[in-house]
């Protein structure tokens, strides 16, 4: 018998109006949950004069104040320690601690209950199934599992759908490649930069051609590279495998995925998340395709520390066409744009001694992508250039998972822009992406 096409055939093909009805119903429920159980949320909504019974339509939802990462940072460290008063369950029901990689300063703590963790696995099961993972797959995870949520849920979801999982945690790159070869792994998950680097190591240092190995699909996360056509192509060529993108976040969940139809964008899992796109200038919610705005997202089923109208700072837009795969969940065009950009900006602006201007130049050196970052050191900090450079490099690596060639420039040497800054230069292809 042929494999079922969808992980959840009912929810994934639900007609639009039914998805919307489901989202509204679930939103009201999670809003009530947060209002009743979290002092933090109740105060936020009381101050805005909004009660759970006021929420009857999507128009009502638009009026609810958003939550930002900085607000979560402010409450943590307080009672109930260490999460603070957005916690909606007794502390003893929390079964796992995670934290964000943190784009500015202190990371944000994220508690989950066992039920939340099962929800994480369920979210990832949609992703993996949509990307062609099946019980016969042998999945290698070349990733150092740690305090961040990255690939933990991917690991357990792969087990849940019946794959065989090989945890490649503390192995080094060469040992990982040898294990893939030895066990004939068929799939793997990682950041695009690392997966490209692995291919390079295999070719240059081990005389192994990664395209001759048995990997036939790769799930990327953590960076937007797999949604950038040129990067995706390089990854696919290097491994002779299909490469799929996924976007998620510690404080949100695994909310989107690319499917095997590779439609040039990612599905939002609308049965489990409500994504609103807000016009940055007018504050209006954008429903039509082709108009970028910032993402405001609600995890409709997450309980310990709810994610209700979270302002993610991601920039996205709806795609115009439905996907050929038949899923009724909407697509966001070209994946998430602007996240790496905003992370770099936040890092540059958090390091003492640096000016506000910076420039990022992406180009190709051999098979690898090189990212040059030019920053300005303030006059009074000129004697600390070395220190500043190493702090900047550390922070960038930690917060964007990418490596940079850093060039320190003098004060006022980089171009200034009055309206929209053109800080990003993409030299990899003739036409700049953004």
Which pair of structure tokens corresponds to residue 266? Answer: 């990612």
Smallest distance, Zn ion to C-beta of residue 332, A: 12
Smallest distance, Zn ion to C-beta of residue 130, A: 7
What Å distances lie between residue 418 and 38, 116, 359, 377, CA to CA? Answer: 43, 46, 15, 21
**Cβ closer to Zn ion: 295 or 319?**
319
**Cβ closer to Zn ion: 300 or 323?**
323
Smallest distance, Zn ion to C-beta of residue 325, A: 3
- Tokens 């609600």 — which residue? 298
Smallest distance, Zn ion to C-beta of residue 237, A: 23
With residues binned 3-state (H G I as helix, E B as strand, rest as coil), the percentages for the chain, rounded to 5, are: 35, 25, 40
**Cβ closer to Zn ion: 267 or 309?**
267
> Is residue 303 a contact partner of residue 89, using CB atoms and an 8 Å limit?
yes
Name all contacts of 26-33 with Cβ < 8 Å and 24+ positions apart: 26/274, 26/300, 26/301, 27/55, 27/61, 27/274, 27/298, 27/300, 28/52, 28/55, 29/300, 30/298, 30/299, 30/300, 30/301, 30/302, 30/306, 30/308, 31/55, 31/64, 31/308, 33/88, 33/303, 33/306
Length of the chain: 434
Residues that bind Zn ion (CB under 5 A): 259, 261, 323, 325, 327
**Cβ closer to Zn ion: 254 or 362?**
254
**Cβ closer to Zn ion: 226 or 325?**
325
Smallest distance, Zn ion to C-beta of residue 31, A: 29
Q: Give me the helices (H) in 184-258, please.
A: 192-206, 229-239
């Amino acid at each position: 018998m042929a494999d079922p096409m969808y992980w959840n055939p009912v929810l994934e093909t639900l007609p639009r109006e039914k998805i919307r009805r489901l989202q509204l119903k679930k939103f009201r429920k999670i809003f009530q949950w947060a209002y009743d159980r979290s002092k933090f949320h109740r105060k936020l909504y009381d101050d805005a004069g909004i009660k759970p019974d006021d929420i009857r339509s999507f128009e009502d939802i638009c009026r609810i104040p958003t939550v930002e990462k900085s607000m979560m940072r402010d409450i943590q460290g307080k009672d109930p320690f260490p999460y603070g008063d957005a916690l909606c369950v007794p502390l003893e029901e929390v079964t796992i601690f995670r934290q964000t990689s943190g784009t500015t300063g202190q990371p944000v703590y994220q508690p989950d209950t066992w039920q939340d963790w099962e929800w994480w696995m369920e979210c990832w099961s949609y992703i993996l199934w949509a990307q062609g993972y099946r019980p016969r797959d042998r999945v290698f995870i070349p990733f150092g599992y740690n305090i961040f949520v990255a690939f933990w849920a991917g690991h357990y979801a792969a087990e849940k759908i019946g794959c065989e999982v090989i945890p490649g945690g503390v192995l080094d790159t060469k040992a990982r490649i040898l294990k893939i070869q030895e066990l004939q792994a068929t799939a793997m998950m990682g950041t695009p930069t690392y997966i490209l680097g692995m291919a390079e190591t295999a070719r240059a240092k081990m005389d192994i051609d990664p395209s001759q190995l048995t990997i036939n699909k790769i799930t990327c996360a953590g960076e937007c590279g797999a949604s950038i056509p040129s990067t995706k192509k390089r990854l696919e060529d290097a491994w002779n495998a299909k490469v799929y993108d996924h976007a998620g976040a510690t404080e949100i969940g695994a909310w989107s995925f690319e499917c095997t139809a590779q439609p040039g964008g990612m599905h939002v899992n609308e049965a489990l998340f409500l994504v609103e796109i807000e016009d940055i200038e007018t504050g209006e919610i954008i429903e039509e395709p082709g108009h970028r705005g910032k993402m405001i997202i609600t995890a409709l089923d997450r309980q310990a520390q709810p994610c209700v109208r979270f302002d993610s700072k991601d920039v996205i837009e709806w795609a115009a066409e439905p996907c050929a795969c038949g899923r009724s969940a909407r697509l966001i065009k070209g994946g998430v744009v602007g996240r790496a950009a905003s992370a770099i900006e936040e890092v540059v602006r958090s390091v003492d001694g640096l000016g506000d201007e910076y420039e990022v130049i992406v180009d190709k050196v051999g098979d690898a992508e090189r990212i040059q970052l030019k920053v300005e050191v303030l006059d009074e900090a000129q004697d600390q250039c070395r220190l500043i450079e190493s702090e900047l490099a550390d922070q960038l690596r930690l917060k964007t998972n990418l490596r940079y060639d850093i060039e320190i420039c003098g004060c006022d040497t980089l171009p200034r822009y009055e309206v929209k800054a053109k800080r990003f230069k993409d030299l990899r292809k003739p036409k700049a992406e953004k």
